[in-house]
């Protein structure tokens, strides 16, 4: 009996210490699922809208009592009596609560909490782990991790202009080896940063990356490349670099701000191309502002021919925007953030659309996240091939890495995606 009988909601805290929505969905047979939703800081203009109270006397305006009330009074009556095993029907009912496709009135944080808790309840009711519940008969695929080493932008008090420099263990042959390598790189980067005059203890950014102490943006790419060697690994062969430019955050209306200069589009692209020549960059994310479709189409052949070109704010986990990108030959990979979409079904549809078009998929946490580990199971069960969660430090991040270690060690036969997850783009689509 997987009929939804009760929906509970409350204010919980995320990893930034801000409120988020917690939800438990209880089924008629007593099985239940609980989810707390993540929250971004460098949010795109096209993602589903969180609902915040805006009352400056509670959590500086970040409270989510309105979203919690929306779960109790608006969403619960729509889903009670529905079959939790029919995720699409539940999500359609949730989406019907709001005329705004971005769910701004009810709140995407309210909607996603119910959607996820329903999925987790259905998995619990089926007696199977979440990854198996969503994968059907497919062999579980452990993702290639993309791990934050140096942070800037909105995640680190603008210590750098660019947002993330990440390590991608392209030479690893198992998830456990991949994680061991990037943990070593993180430790090595801390040591090198200390030697180069930075501080490593005080400044840990929202996703657990090192923040501060670097002379300029390029120094972050050099630090991570050197850290790979310092860890006894070969840059590019064992561990490559990924960079999230988060270009929306850099654009000042006239050009891209970098190290105190404003670069026009041509100079900005030339800079990225040089970085890709000088450092082992295997993936670039959000290289241009989210609505510069023409710029993206022009940049894709140059920047995306030999590496992954990933759209985050660009696609906003929105099937319509991804379809437009596919039609216009823009980027070659999509970041999938369930809370940008608003429901589990929408996020899943985006991964399926991407796969059908030959785009790689990277499922991703948010900079404000929680101790939940469902994202790891979705990565495995949806066979996304890649997962971006932040650093190997901070418990809201390690919750996901640890869940993947558990699945690889205990789930029976599994596959590890490895560098092949990137290779559709590396091999030129
Ligand atoms: C995870 C990211 O940051 P946020 O959650 O702040 O959008 C990102 O930009 O990829
Ligand atoms: Mg991003």
77 and 156 assigned to the same domain: no
Can you tell me which atom of ligand 1 is nearest the CA of 207? Answer: 1
Q: Tell me whether residue 134 is in a domain.
A: no
107/232 same-domain check? no
Please check whether residues 278 and 351 belong to one and the same domain: yes
User: How far apart are the C-alpha atoms of 393 and 207, rounded to whole Å?
Assistant: 8
Task: Provide the whole-model pTM.
Answer: 0.96
| 312 appears as a binding residue in the annotation | yes
> Hey, how many other C-beta atoms are within 10 angstroms of the C-beta on 200?
18
The finding on whether 302 has its CB within 6 A of some atom of ligand 1 is: no
**Ligand number with the minimum distance to the CA of 368:** 1
Q: Which CATH number fits the domain that encloses residue 228?
A: 3.20.20.120
* pLDDT value at residue 428: 39
- pLDDT for 344: 98
Tokens representing residue 210 in the block: 């090192």
Contact between 267 and 276 under an 8 Å Cβ cutoff? The reply is: no
The response to whether residue 246 sits with its C-beta less than 6 Å from ligand 1 reads yes
Please count the structural domains in the chain. 2
Question: For residue 123, what are the domain limits?
Answer: 4-127
246 & 301 share domain: yes
Q: Are residues 13 and 148 in the same domain?
A: no
> Which pLDDT score is estimated for 427?
41
Closest ligand 1 atom to residue 155 Cα is: 6
Ligand number nearest to the C-alpha of 41:
1
Confirm if 367 and 40 have CB atoms less than 8 A apart: yes
Under-70 pLDDT residues of the chain: 198-202, 423-429
Q: Give the distance (Å) from ligand 2 centre to CA of residue 366.
A: 9
Q: Are residues 101 and 149 in the same domain?
A: no
In this prediction, residue 423 carries a pLDDT of 56
Q: Is the minimum distance from the CB of 366 to ligand 1 under 6 angstroms?
A: yes
Q: Which residues 6+ apart lie within 8 Å of 360 measured at CB? A: 308, 310, 332, 333, 334, 354, 385, 386, 421, 422, 424, 425
Cα–Cα dist 49/409, whole Å: 37
Residues 218 and 86 reside in one and the same domain: no
- Of the residues 47, 364, 389, which should be mutated to test ligand 1's pocket, given the most ligand atoms within 8 Å of the CB? 364
């Amino acid at each position: 009996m997987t009929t939804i009988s009760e929906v509970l909601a409350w204010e919980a805290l995320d990893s930034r210490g801000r409120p988020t929505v917690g939800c438990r969905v209880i089924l008629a047979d007593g099985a239940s699922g609980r989810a707390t939703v993540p929250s971004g800081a460098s949010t795109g203009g096209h993602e589903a809208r969180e609902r915040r109270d805006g009352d400056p006397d509670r959590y500086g305006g970040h409270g989510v009592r309105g979203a919690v009330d929306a779960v109790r009074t608006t969403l619960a009556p729509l889903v009670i009596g529905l079959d939790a095993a029919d995720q699409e029907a539940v999500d359609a009912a949730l989406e019907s609560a709001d005329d705004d496709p971005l769910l701004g009135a009810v709140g995407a944080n309210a909607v996603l909490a119910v959607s996820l808790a329903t999925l987790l309840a259905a998995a619990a009711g089926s007696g199977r782990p979440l990854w198996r519940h969503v994968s059907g008969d497919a062999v579980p695929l452990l993702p290639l991790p993309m791990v934050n080493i140096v942070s800037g932008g909105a995640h680190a008090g603008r210590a750098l202009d660019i947002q993330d420099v990440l390590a991608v263990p392209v030479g690893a042959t198992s998830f456990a080896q991949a994680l061991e390598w990037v943990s070593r790189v993180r430790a090595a980067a801390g040591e090198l940063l200390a030697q180069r005059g930075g501080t490593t203890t005080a400044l840990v950014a929202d996703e657990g990356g090192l923040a501060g102490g670097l002379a300029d943006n390029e120094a972050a790419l050099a630090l991570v490349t050197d850290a790979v060697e310092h860890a006894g690994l070969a840059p590019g062969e064992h561990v490559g670099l990924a960079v999230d430019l988060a270009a929306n955050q850099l654009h000042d209306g006239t050009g891209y701000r970098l190290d105190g200069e404003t670069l026009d589009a041509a100079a900005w692209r030339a800079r990225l191309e040089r970085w890709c020549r000088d450092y082992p960059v295997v993936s670039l994310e959000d290289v241009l502002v989210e609505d510069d479709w023409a710029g993206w189409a022009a940049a894709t052949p140059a920047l995306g021919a030999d590496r992954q070109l990933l759209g985050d704010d660009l696609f906003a986990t929105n099937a319509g925007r991804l379809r437009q990108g596919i039609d216009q030959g823009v980027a070659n990979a999509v970041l999938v953030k369930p809370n940008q979409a608003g429901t589990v079904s929408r996020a899943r549809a985006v991964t399926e659309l991407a796969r059908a078009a030959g785009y790689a998929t990277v499922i991703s946490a948010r900079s404000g996240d929680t101790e939940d580990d469902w994202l790891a199971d979705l990565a495995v069960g949806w066979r996304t091939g890649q997962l971006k969660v932040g650093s190997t430090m901070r418990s809201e991040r390690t919750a996901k890495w640890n869940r993947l270690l558990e699945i690889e060690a205990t789930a029976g036969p599994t596959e590890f995606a490895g560098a092949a997850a990137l290779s559709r783009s590396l091999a030129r689509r």
